[in-house]
Amino acid sequence: MTSDIQIETERLILRLPRREDFDGYAELFGDEEAARFVGGAMVRAAAWRKFLQQPGAWLVQGFGMFSVTDKQTGEWYGQLGPWLPEGWPGNEVGWAFRRAAWGKGYATEAAAPAIDWAFANLGWNNIIHCIDPANTASLALARRVGSTNQGPGKLPPPLDEHPIEIWGQSREQWFARQRGVQAR
Ligand SMILES: CC(C)(COP(=O)(O)OP(=O)(O)OC[C@H]1O[C@@H](n2cnc3c(N)ncnc32)[C@H](O)[C@@H]1OP(=O)(O)O)[C@@H](O)C(=O)NCCC(=O)NCCS
């Protein structure tokens, strides 16, 4: 069953979102700096409505971003994984972490198995990341997972006002890199 999906890494567990993740989520989306490139900061009640997007995506589409949690303590660090709403410019693997979880390599550690999972389960031939050119931390993460800049893109309205670059890579490039060889 979808809700049983659980991926373990050295320090993390990736699993579907749960009610108990909301305090961390509300903290992330209440933080001006952390929420700047993911729709802007919002009050807790608005964050709850946004929080329901990922469980909704899992239920309706069969995939969504994983909750990324600490393997030892269960602390919710952020969310990362496949995201493909109506009108999106491609098969995104997206990410957003609480500020307290930045700078520790958690997003990089979670990205590899989440990308593996997306390629193994969704029939995708490529992935993208939609990134504001000013979001240096996200650009660095895209580079760390081996994605490259594919040029400017557009999100669907009402998000089309924001400038984004599409970063990404093909399935072939991803698996070649995992095997340690350079894809053509
Ligand atoms: C984008 C985002 C997830 C990147 O987080 P991050 O903490 O920079 O990325 P990682 O978790 O992979 O950590 C990498 C950093 O940890 C450091 N690090 C420490 N221990 C590490 C380890 N064991 N392994 C790898 N890196 C480690 C790295 O040196 C790097 O720091 P640096 O950038 O100063 O060199 C984060 O900035 C975020 O959530 N931003 C707000 C939401 C957002 O904008 N999302 C993207 C929308 S497109």
From atom 22 of ligand 1, which residue's Cα is the shortest distance away? 105
**What is the largest distance, in Å, between two alpha-carbon atoms of the chain?**
48
Q: Which of 69, 57, 52 is nearest to 14 (CA)?
A: 69
Domain range list for the chain: 8-178
CATH architecture of 8-178: 3-Layer(aba) Sandwich (3.40)
For ligand 1, say whether the CB of 37 is within 6 Å of any of its atoms: yes
What is the identity of the amino acid at 24? G
Confidence of residue 181 (pLDDT cuts 50, 70, 90): confident
CA distance 147 to 119: 15
**Does residue 182 have a pLDDT over 80?**
no
The SS3 of residue 173 is helix
Instruction: Name the H helices within 105-154.
Output: 106-122, 136-144
Pocket test for ligand 1, best of 28, 42, 97, 143 (most atoms within 8 A of CB): 97
pTM: 0.96
Range 36-62 average pLDDT: 97
Cα-to-chain-centroid distance, residue 39:
14
Pocket test for ligand 1, best of 71, 77, 95 (most atoms within 8 A of CB): 95
Establish how many alpha carbons lie within 13 A of residue 26's alpha carbon, considering only the half-sphere containing its beta carbon. Answer: 11
Cα-to-chain-centroid distance, residue 134:
18
What values do phi and psi take at 68, rounded to 5?
-105, 115
pLDDT digits (tens, 9 = 90+) for 60-93: 999 999 999 999 999 999 999 999 999 999 999 9
CA distance 121 to 13: 18
Alpha-carbon distances, residue 172 vs 78, 124, 147 (angstroms):
28, 11, 12
